[in-house]
């Protein structure tokens, strides 16, 4: 306790990390973490567009995140890049990347300096995910957490149970193609991998926007089975049982190629009926790459952090929970991060 | 509860009728008795349970969850039962309880014991089952499953050798949930004896016709009467029980105690439910104020008295008249109405005619605004359930039409997935376009593609699945009637609006004005000055 109190006093003089309009900034290290605008030096937790942006002077990230950024933005997405591997000294601080269990390459970033350690979770998940490495709790003084699903109503069901619902629907409607909306990086590959785990070994058709990222997952050793492009000659209907596409495709004429489809959507938001209804979804699948409420809480406890900062999401509820459990917490109100984006 | 909860979940997100039938059929095939009977009763609103109030649920939740966390959650989810189902601290893989146990226990538990009972169940059930339980207990299951849809599902379940949906409907109305014997009968067993007095009989319906369809028919073989614009009902008074059913068999007696009191006879009358004042029949909008109510106020009974205009007689003094020709039934009906001698029940007068042209003139300009056309029935027609081809026709007044401008479009489902197929349209009020209705049919598949393209190329804003479009495209909208409605921004509500033509040629500025629509409103004998 004494040590933490001292650390808090130190921090009051010069914080290890501080929120700025560009994102979280480390004055001692001279870098930003997941900046939302171009900066000189950026540490990136994972490849989702709201965390990983193009145009920084230098980027430090996991090898997979660097690869994913190059796939999405082109090889010249940054002037210089460095692969995160082991402990790395940057000016007066040391940083280390730890798996976050969110998407392929995702990491938490531990920043140590002046006798204190802060862990920035980025987006993270505790449920096992066949498409990426598992989350690893890192003991720290301050835990900077996301709170996308930071309400006690969010308790994600086991993803296998959701896949079982999908399989039941395929059996109930064998003549209707099932179109599953899933974000191109991470969710799409996870849904495919879950289907394979469940024993579905038929072809899965994928929207063109998913091709490169699926190829990359396969190259990284994740078995996605028989994938085929969801393309067809103009005006022809495509015979396919399972099709994965970014949800935005369902608003496009692209969807006209399917006869009487069942529209499904894989997202943690699907737990709330009004959200599923707003999207016009017929089969909501509650599959999320974010920590649910019990996992947010269990992770805070696992890190042993004496203080919690909440970056984005439903921060009021998580801050309230911390207050009820005598853990100092504050919302950072960082702007520019989306709730489970599309 | 698990199978029921799963069914409920799928139905809630499935708009297409055939897909709903498939889901219900799968459930019936997999679920034992009496659970499936209770489930059908719950879906169709036929379950009489003690209602658990929202305040009881809220109190339960606040015993388990921090008030502030609950408030934040409720605010996000927007539905009390759903919030509690999701937030309730219980194992995610609970033990299951049968639907029958839930229903029978809820029926017998006394009010003070309800909180402990509900809490105990919530502690053992999984989240989806908790939701189903709470919706069941608060009578909040709104899944769009009509009794008729259920009968069709049951007929499909029975297979080709089983009874048809109409026959199932008739038996269904004579049974109380969970419909003992029903499933045995569908599987080839004996027909269950209906206990209910005053059951519903499947209604006979007419095919739409026009001058062309009628031309080859001999007018001398047909009788005609006005088609009144109310609600087609079946008034049953038998064995001491009285019921007012809609043509789909929904019991609406509770909303019309005044008319039910007038059913002082032994028989079954097919007629039109109307609201009357003095000698005039009020427009449909006035009748609508009395529909969908569990109770009715004394003021409403006085200002909007219910009336039955009799078309046909199915039963009279324990005699089934349905196998008799219309001429005989009509004669019996005239005698019956004279015997009843209650001003609330009168005869639908015959419309004499000699040739179709005369009838066409009458149809196009009926003597009362609450007439929506003529019914044409063969003199020798028996009373057959369903919509048999040939004996009965309806020839409607031409629909009203208005030229409106497309304002918003929403994506459809199933076969229309990815197409903008539901259109909100408006008319001019000064310099602004005010929305007056929504239509999602009337166009061909080819026209749908053109409309979809128009929406995509002219989108000005997006709200979820809805797009706002540049107000450029004129749609000719046909509709069956117009009511004043305080719930709509324009103050008007259209009945059965559909897109009759797409006016690619017409500039939006030449679309109709709101005054044109207001002039189409029926003169209202209840609210407008008398004597006019």
Q: Six-digit token pair at B333?
A: 């009906």
The confidence score (pLDDT) of residue B93 equals 64
Look at residue B207 and give its three-state secondary structure.
Answer: strand
The CA R_g of chain B, rounded to the nearest whole Å, is: 26
Looking at residue A2, its pLDDT comes to: 39
Residue B173 reports pLDDT greater than 60: yes
Residue B195 binned pLDDT confidence (cut-offs 50, 70, 90):
low
Instruction: Round to whole Å and give the CA distance between A3 and A7.
Output: 6
pLDDT of B525 > 90? The answer is: no
Residue B396 a catalytic site member:
no
pLDDT tens string B322-358: 999 999 999 999 999 999 999 999 999 999 999 999 9
Task: From chain B, pick out residues whose CB is under 8 angstroms from the CB of A259.
Answer: 415
Distance between CA atoms of B353 and B224, rounded to whole angstroms? 8
Q: Of the ranges A147-161, B193-207, B403-417, which one carries the lowest mean pLDDT score?
A: B193-207
Mean pLDDT of A148-162: 95
Half-sphere exposure of B413 (CA within 13 A, CB side): 18
A151 neighbors A292 (Cβ within 8 angstroms): no
DSSP B100-160: HHHHHHHHH--GGGHHHHHHHHHHHS-HHHHHHHHHHHTT-------HHHHHHHHHHHH-T
Q: Report the C-alpha gap between B473 and A312 in whole angstroms.
A: 43
| Chain A positions in Cβ-Cβ contact with residue B77 (cut-off 8 Å) | 153, 272, 274
Q: Give the residue on A whose Cα is nearest the Cα of B71.
A: A317
Q: Which CATH number fits domain A159-285: 1.10.600, 1.10.3470, 1.10.10, 3.40.50?
A: 3.40.50
The reported pLDDT for the residue numbered B50 is 75
In chain B, the N- to C-terminal Cα span, in Å, equals 60
Question: For position B486, what pLDDT does the model report?
Answer: 81
Contact residues, chain B to chain A, C-beta under 8 Å: 6, 10, 12-15, 19, 22-23, 26, 65-66, 68-70, 72-73, 76-79, 82-83, 86-87, 92, 127, 411, 413-415, 417-419, 452, 456, 464-465
Burial class (CB in 10 A: 0-12, 13-18, 19+), B91: exposed
Please name the residue that has the structure tokens 């897109």. Answer: B499
Closest by Cβ to B72, choosing from A155, A316, A324:
A316
Contact B399, B478 (CB under 8 A): yes
Point out which residues pair with A113 in neighbouring strands.
A116
**pLDDT tens-place string over residues B261-296:** 999 999 999 999 999 887 789 988 889 889 877 788
Domain ranges for chain A, please list them.
2-153+290-331, 159-285
Q: Is the pLDDT at B482 greater than 70, yes or no?
A: yes
Angle (nearest 5°) at CA B437 between B210 and B142? 95
Which of A169, A278, A320 is nearest residue B464 as measured by Cβ atoms? A278
pTM for the structure as a whole: 0.80
Report the alpha-carbon distance of residue A22 to residue A34 in Å, rounded. Answer: 9
pLDDT number for residue B524: 57
What percent of chain B has pLDDT above 70? 97
- B394: tokens are 């309806």
CB B194 within 8 Å of CB B377:
no
Q: Regarding the domain delimited by B400-520, which CATH topology (the fold level of the hierarchy) does it fall under? A: OB fold (Dihydrolipoamide Acetyltransferase, E2P) (2.40.50)
pLDDT digits (tens, 9 = 90+) for B429-460: 999 999 999 999 899 888 998 999 999 999 99
Q: How confident is the model at residue B94, as a pLDDT?
A: 66
Look at B73 and A281 and tell me if their CB atoms are within 8 Å. Answer: no
CB A149 within 8 A of CB A293: yes
- Topology of domain A2-153+290-331, CATH: Metallo-beta-lactamase; Chain A (3.60.15)
Q: Closest Cα of chain B to A284: distance in Å?
A: 8
User: Domain ranges in chain B?
Assistant: 1-196, 207-396, 400-520
Please give the residue that has the higher pLDDT: either A217 or B463. Answer: A217
Q: How confident is the model at residue B530 (pLDDT cuts 50, 70, 90)?
A: very low
Extract the tokens encoding B319: 């005699």
Residue B458 to residue B504: CA distance in whole angstroms: 14
Distance from CA of B230 to the nearest CA of A (A): 33
Q: Which residues contact B106 (CB under 8 A, 6 or more apart)?
A: B49, B50, B117, B136, B137
Does residue B134 have a pLDDT over 60? yes
Q: Report, as an integer, the average pLDDT of B234-255.
A: 90
- For residue B270, which of B182, B181, B203 has the smallest C-alpha distance? B203
Q: What is the ipTM of this complex?
A: 0.92
Tell me the mean pLDDT in the region B41-50.
84
Asked if A320 lies within 8 A of B72 by C-beta distance, the reply is yes
Q: Which residues pair with B267 in a beta bridge?
A: B237, B316
Q: What is the full DSSP assignment across A138-206?
A: ---SEEEEEETT-STT--PPPHHHHHHHHHHHHHH-TTSPEEEE--TTTHHHHHHHHHHHTT--S-EEE
Residue A13 pLDDT: 56
Does A284 sit within 8 Å of B456, measured CB to CB? no
Percent of chain B scoring above 90 in pLDDT: 68
Q: Cα–Cα distance between A83 and A102 in angstroms, integer?
A: 19
Q: How far apart are alpha carbons A271 and A284 in whole angstroms?
A: 8
Compute the distance between CA of residue A225 and CA of residue A200 in angstroms, rounded to an integer. 9
Q: Distance between CA A272 and CA A268 in Å, rounded?
A: 9
pLDDT at residue A15 in the model: 87
CA distance, residue B42 to nearest chain A CA (Å): 20
User: Over 80: is that where the pLDDT of B464 sits?
Assistant: no
Contacts of A313 in chain B (CB under 8 A): none
Are the Cβ atoms of B417 and A274 closer than 8 angstroms?
no
Pick from A153, A277, A278: which is nearest to B87 by CB? A153
Which structure tokens are listed for B494?
């259209």
Does 3.30.470.30 match the CATH number of domain B207-396?
A: yes
Could you please state the CATH topology (level 3) that the domain comprising B1-196 is classified under: DNA ligase i, domain 1 (1.10.3260)
Contact A95, A60 (CB under 8 A): yes
Task: Name the E strands within B183-295.
Answer: 207-208, 222-228, 231-238, 241-246, 267-277, 280-281
């Amino acid at each position: 306790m004494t040590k933490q109190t001292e650390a808090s006093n130190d921090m009051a003089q010069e914080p290890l990390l501080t929120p700025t309009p560009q994102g979280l900034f480390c004055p001692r290290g001279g870098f930003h973490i997941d900046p939302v605008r171009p900066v000189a030096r950026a540490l990136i937790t994972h490849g989702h567009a709201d965390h990983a942006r193009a145009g920084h002077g230098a980027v430090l990230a996991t090898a997979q995140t660097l690869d994913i950024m190059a796939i999405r933005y082109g090889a010249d997405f940054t002037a210089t890049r460095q692969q995160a591997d082991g402990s790395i000294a940057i000016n007066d601080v040391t940083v280390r990347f730890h798996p976050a269990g969110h998407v392929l390459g995702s990491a938490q970033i531990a920043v140590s300096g002046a006798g204190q350690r802060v862990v920035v979770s980025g987006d993270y998940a505790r449920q096992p995910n066949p498409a990426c490495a598992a989350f690893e709790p890192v003991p720290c003084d301050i835990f900077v957490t996301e709170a996308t699903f930071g309400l006690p109503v969010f308790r994600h069901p086991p993803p296998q149970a959701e896949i079982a619902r999908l399989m039941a629907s395929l059996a109930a409607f064998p003549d209707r193609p099932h179109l599953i909306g899933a974000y191109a990086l991470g969710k799409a590959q996870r849904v495919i991998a879950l289907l394979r785990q469940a024993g579905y070994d038929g072809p899965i058709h994928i929207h063109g926007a998913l091709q490169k990222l699926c190829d990359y997952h396969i190259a990284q050793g994740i078995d996605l089975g028989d994938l085929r492009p969801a393309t067809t000659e103009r005006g022809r209907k495509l015979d396919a049982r399972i099709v994965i596409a970014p949800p935005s495709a369902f608003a496009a004429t692209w969807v006209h190629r399917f006869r009487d489809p069942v529209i499904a959507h894989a997202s943690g938001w699907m737990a709330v009926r009004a959200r599923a209804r707003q999207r016009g979804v017929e089969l909501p699948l509650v599959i999320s790459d974010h920590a649910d409420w019990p996992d947010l809480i269990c992770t805070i406890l696992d890190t042993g952090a004496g203080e919690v900062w909440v970056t984005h999401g439903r921060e009021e509820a998580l801050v309230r929970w911390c207050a009820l459990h005598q853990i100092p917490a504050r919302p950072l109100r960082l702007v520019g991060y989306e709730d489970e984006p599309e | 509860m698990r199978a029921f909860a799963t069914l409920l979940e799928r139905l809630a997100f499935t708009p297409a009728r055939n897909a709903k039938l498939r889901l219900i059929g799968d459930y019936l095939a997999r679920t034992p008795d009496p659970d499936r009977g209770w489930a059908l009763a719950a879906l169709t609103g036929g379950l009489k349970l003690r209602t658990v109030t929202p305040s009881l649920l809220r109190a339960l939740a606040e015993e388990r969850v921090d008030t502030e966390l609950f408030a934040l959650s409720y605010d996000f989810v927007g539905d009390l039962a759903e919030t509690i189902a999701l937030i309730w601290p219980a194992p995610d893989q609970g033990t299951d309880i049968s639907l029958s146990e839930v229903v029978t226990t809820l029926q017998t538990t006394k009010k003070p014991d309800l909180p402990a009972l509900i809490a105990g169940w919530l502690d053992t059930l999984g989240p989806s089952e908790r939701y189903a339980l709470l919706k069941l207990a608060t009578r909040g299951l709104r899944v769009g499953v009509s009794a008729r849809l259920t009968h069709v599902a049951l007929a499909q379940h029975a297979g080709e050798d089983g009874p048809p949906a109409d026959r199932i409907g008739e038996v269904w109305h004579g049974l109380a949930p969970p419909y003992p014997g029903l499933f045995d009968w569908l599987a080839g067993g004996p027909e269950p004896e209906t206990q209910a007095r005053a059951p519903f009989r499947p209604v006979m319906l007419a095919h739409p016709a026009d001058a062309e369809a009628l031309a080859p028919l001999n007018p001398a073989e047909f009788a005609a009467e006005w088609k009144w614009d109310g609600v087609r009902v079946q008034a049953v008074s038998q064995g001491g029980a009285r019921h007012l059913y809609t043509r789909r068999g929904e019991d609406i007696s509770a909303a019309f105690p005044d008319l039910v009191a007038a059913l002082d006879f032994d028989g079954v009358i097919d007629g039109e439910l109307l609201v009357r004042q003095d000698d005039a029949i009020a427009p449909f909008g006035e009748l609508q104020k009395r529909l969908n109510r569990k109770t009715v106020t004394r003021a409403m009974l006085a200002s909007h008295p219910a009336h039955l205009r009799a078309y046909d007689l199915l039963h009279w003094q324990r005699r089934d008249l349905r196998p008799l020709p219309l001429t005989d039934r009509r004669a019996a009906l005239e005698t019956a109405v004279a015997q009843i001698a209650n001003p609330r029940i009168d005869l639908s007068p015959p419309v004499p005619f000699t040739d179709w042209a005369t009838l066409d003139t009458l149809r196009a300009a009926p003597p009362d605004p609450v007439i929506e056309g003529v019914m044409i029935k063969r003199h020798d027609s028996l009373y057959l359930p369903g919509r048999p081809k040939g004996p009965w026709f309806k020839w409607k007044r031409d629909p009203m039409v208005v030229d409106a401008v497309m304002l918003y479009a929403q994506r459809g489902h199933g076969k229309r997935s990815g197409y903008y197929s539901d259109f909100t349209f408006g008319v001019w009020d000064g310099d602004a376009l005010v929305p007056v209705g929504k239509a999602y049919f009337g166009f061909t598949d080819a026209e749908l593609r053109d409309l979809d393209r128009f929406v995509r190329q002219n989108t000005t804003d997006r709200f979820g699945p809805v797009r706002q479009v540049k107000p450029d495209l004129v749609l000719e909208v046909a509709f069956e009637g117009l009511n004043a409605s305080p719930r709509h921004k324009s103050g008007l509500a259209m009945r059965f609006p559909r897109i009759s033509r797409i006016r690619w040629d017409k500039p939006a500025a030449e679309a109709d004005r709101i005054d044109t629509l207001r002039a189409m409103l029926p003169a209202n004998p209840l609210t407008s000055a008398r004597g006019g």
